[in-house]
Amino acid sequence: MPDGTRLLSGGSYHDPNIRVWDASNWQQVGDSWKDDTYMKCVRAISINPTGTLAVSLSQDNENIIRLWRISDSTTVAISKEQLIHCVAFSIDGRRILGGLSVKIILEFVIQKQPMEKALVKHASEDAFPKGILGNETPQIFAMTTAVRNAFISGDFPIAEQLLTQDIEADPKNYASYANRSFVMMRLLDWDRALHDATMSVNIQASFIGYISKGIALCGKMQVWDAMKVFDLAFTFAEGDSKMAHRLFLIKAIAMFNAKMDEESVFPVQELAARPNPDPVACRIVEAYMRVQLGNIAMDSDLHKEAADHFTAAVTAGASFATLDIHSTHMEFVLLFGWDLKSLWQIANQQRCRALLRTGQFGTAFEAYRFMMDKSDDPTKAIFLDWIPALDENE
């Protein structure tokens, strides 16, 4: 306990119990802790800073997180999670963090009321490659590891199947409806995406629900209705500048995808030019939009216009040229299927190609030198392999 008077212990397979001990004489205090389910092995225990709640991780048929009320040794919440190996309270006691074997951290928010729903997975697993907490991007998704991995690998039928199973097990699971809506979006099935998003917000109004509905409405080209829904999503940011910032970018992307015009880029550019919670995210979105506009111009043989868009993308991308933006800004990958691993590479290659087609050979050479100077060694190798093919095609 925080005051040092009590110690909690967890037993192995031969003694799968939680016990409380008096730290002054090492005698057990009260009965062993039990709930309605059977614990095979208690792997970890943590107590919150006020000494009112404890969290345990036990290996049953699945790895199970239990939230306990210490005053009466009662389980108030249970969550089943795969691959989890440790749990701990945050410093303020308002969250529980769980570490997975695949370099992923789960975050749960502890709700005050009602206690029977006290443990809520507020944020999905998100990679922390440097093991640093505190400056990470806002997390949006409440996905299991299996669903998230299916999303990342593009195995959407599996993701849909898993989320459907979650919904069948709990028809009031608004988060699973929203996530299945995201699956439908990636499959461009906008009718089903809107249906699931609407189901989500009808069950419970939420940040993730309104995001899914706003994007789905944009996919159906119902832009004005989408704007109203995104405005509702902003009410769930609750003064969190990072969350509001990320929602602004998601809304901008959804609107851009519906319109595909340069006007949709301007709000992102204006935001990027001012102090904001995540300048890199702004530049990523600006660069991706510019690349899309450049590709459209190239397809229409508007090579000078294309060169301008690609040059703007490269300028924006200089701030993240050597960063692992694919991992740090995963929500853009999950929501929109963006290939952030090659964004910098494609912007530079397309810029050179467009400049060559406009006959600006000197400028194209300078662009090539710039991308080589700003890139890391693996990307430089890709560019060197690409140059002979460029000479043949141009």
How many other C-beta atoms are found inside a 10 Å radius of the C-beta of residue 162?
21
How do the pLDDT tens digits run along the chain, 394 residues long? 777 788 888 887 777 788 888 888 888 888 888 765 666 778 889 998 888 888 888 876 567 888 888 888 888 787 776 667 788 888 878 788 887 655 567 777 776 543 333 444 443 333 322 222 223 334 566 677 788 888 888 899 999 999 999 899 889 989 899 999 999 999 999 999 999 999 999 999 988 999 999 999 999 999 999 999 999 998 887 677 888 888 999 999 999 999 888 998 999 989 888 888 889 999 999 999 999 999 999 999 999 999 999 999 999 998 898 888 988 888 898 899 999 989 999 999 999 999 999 999 899 889 888 888 888 888 888 878 777 666 555 5
CA distance 145 to 106: 10
Q: Are 106 and 121 in contact (CB under 8 A)?
A: yes
Q: Are 194 and 218 in contact (CB under 8 A)?
A: no
Q: Are 353 and 394 in contact (CB under 8 A)?
A: yes
CA distance 323 to 325: 6
CA distance 64 to 19: 18
How many other C-beta atoms are found inside a 10 Å radius of the C-beta of residue 370?
16
CA distance 218 to 214: 6
CA distance 38 to 35: 7
